[in-house]
Amino acid sequence: MNDQTMINPEPNQVGAKDADLWQLAQKRVGFKNHLLSYVLVNLFFWLVWYSSGHRHNNDAGIPWPVWPMVGWGIGLASHYAGAYIFPKSNAVEKEYQKLKNKNG
């Protein structure tokens, strides 16, 4: 068994369940890193806004750091869903199985 097989084993190998857990762990660690980046960068944005004397509000009176928080937050929520809510949702694998069942 070569190194590539250990990282990405074939689905019918004995270690396939371990590979699924490995992929799930990677998704969750990726989300945690994404969350940390989100918090640190947005904290920096709020510090910049605060230290600038709050002069850069738009006409509605909404501080500008709200907009990157909302936009990035949508992506973060999607990442969370993929890592924790729908971790097994693999469209490629489902399509492969559908084609395999249709031809077999």
Q: What is the mean pLDDT of residues 70-96?
A: 85
Give pLDDT, residue 81: 93
Give pLDDT, residue 60: 65
Report how far residue 5's alpha carbon sits from residue 10's, in angstroms, rounded to the nearest whole number: 7
78 — pLDDT class (breaks 50, 70, 90): very high
Q: Which residue has the tokens 């270690």?
A: 15
Rounded to whole angstroms, what are the CA distances from 91 to 13, 32, 36, 86, 94?
21, 23, 28, 11, 5
Per residue in 7-66, pLDDT tens?
A: 554 555 546 668 878 888 999 999 999 999 999 999 999 999 999 877 655 566 889 999
Give pLDDT, residue 46: 95
